[in-house]
Amino acid sequence: MKKRVRRRFWSPLIILLVLVAAALVAFLLFRGKKPEERKVQERQVEETKAEETKPEKLKEGEIRAGEKETSIGKPVTGQEGAPRVAAKPPLRGEPTLPETVKEGKVTEIEDYCSKIEKGVQDFFTYLSRERYVRNLEGDMNSYERFKGVMMKLSSEPPVPAGENMDTLIMTRNIYHFYRLLESEDIRLIREILRNEADSLELNLDIFYKWLMLGDQCPDPEKTRPSLEVLYQYAGFFLNTIGGRAYLYRRPLNVRLLISYYSLLIVHEADKRGKNTYGIDVFPEVTPLAREISLYPDFHFQNEYILQLTQLQNYYLKKR
């Protein structure tokens, strides 16, 4: 009985002594290595640990935990936050004369000019076939009436600033269109906006491109207004009580689109050093982008938001 107790006592003790001896031998061997060998071994251990803790390689389309995907598909961490104006890739190109055309051959520019001019004329050819237009046209077709309206509006553009210093400017701006246009012209414009609401985006895009052709395309009848005149009307809609009141009496899609193109025109004038009234469009960019993003019926919503995001970044860099 005593022998068994002694055996049970010495067995664990012997195992412990063997382990201590093995550890001592390993220590002496490691200590006896040269410094270079120790460094290599330590480096191998560190690399092994790093490989174990290295995150898994993500498959295409996966996003790590703690990251979120923006509307344009790029993961953004929580620290970076969401962009000021969420934007998606544009559906179409820049609504002005493309850079490739500006720098291209003369024939390319001529083709582009002809295409835009034809788009405008086709629109009025279509209008002339509509009954509601024929009832209001009288003896003049819609394209001739359009040219007359453009000449009247260009002859006396509104003052886009200074209403708080001169009440006469405010009064004249409030009644601007009623002073220059005949009642038949105003009624026809209203009927067109009401009856052509479904194609309003495309039509305004064509007219914006036509208006911004400037001196790059021929205008033998001098129908197209200058950038200075366009700038004054754009500032009128963005920066005056009369212009804003006019827009807020129109349907929401008309107000948003006119405001959008007015911003682009003032921005273009600003880039060319022709912002003569010092109109600051930056405060208008984010609210307009938010409203457009909430309007569900725009076909080219992504393009509008992208353009406004570019405007926002442009003016942020200048501040």
Interval 119-146: pLDDT, tens = 999 999 999 899 898 888 766 788 888 9
- 174 belongs to a structural domain: yes
- 91 belongs to a structural domain: no
pLDDT in tens, 97-119: 455 445 556 678 888 999 999 99
Domain count, the chain: 1
pLDDT in tens, 228-242: 999 999 999 999 999
- 179 belongs to a structural domain: yes
Range of the domain at 268: 99-318
Mean pLDDT (the chain) is 77
pTM of the model: 0.68
pLDDT of amino acid 28: 46
- 181 belongs to a structural domain: yes
- 293 belongs to a structural domain: yes
Q: Three-state SS string across the chain, please? A: CHHHHHHHHHHHHHHHHHHHHHHHHHHHHHHCCCHHHHHHHHHHHHHHHHHHHCCCCCCCCCCCCCEEECCCCCEEECCCCCCCCCCCCCCCCCCCCCHHHHCCCHHHHHHHHHHHHHHHHHHHHHHHCCHHHHHHHCCCCHHHHHHHHHHHHHHCCCCCCCCCCCHHHHHHHHCHHHHHCCHHHHHHHHHHHHHCHHHHHHHHHHHHHHHCCHHHCCCCCCCCCCHHHHHHHHHHHHHCHHHHHHHHCCCHHHHHHHHHHHHHHHHHHHHCCCCCCCCCCHHHHHHHHHHHHHCCCCCCHHHHHHHHHHHHHHHHHHC
Low-confidence residues in the chain, pLDDT < 70: 1-106, 138-139
- 173 belongs to a structural domain: yes
- 5 belongs to a structural domain: no
- 211 belongs to a structural domain: yes
User: In whole angstroms, what is the distance from residue 203 CA to residue 95 CA?
Assistant: 12
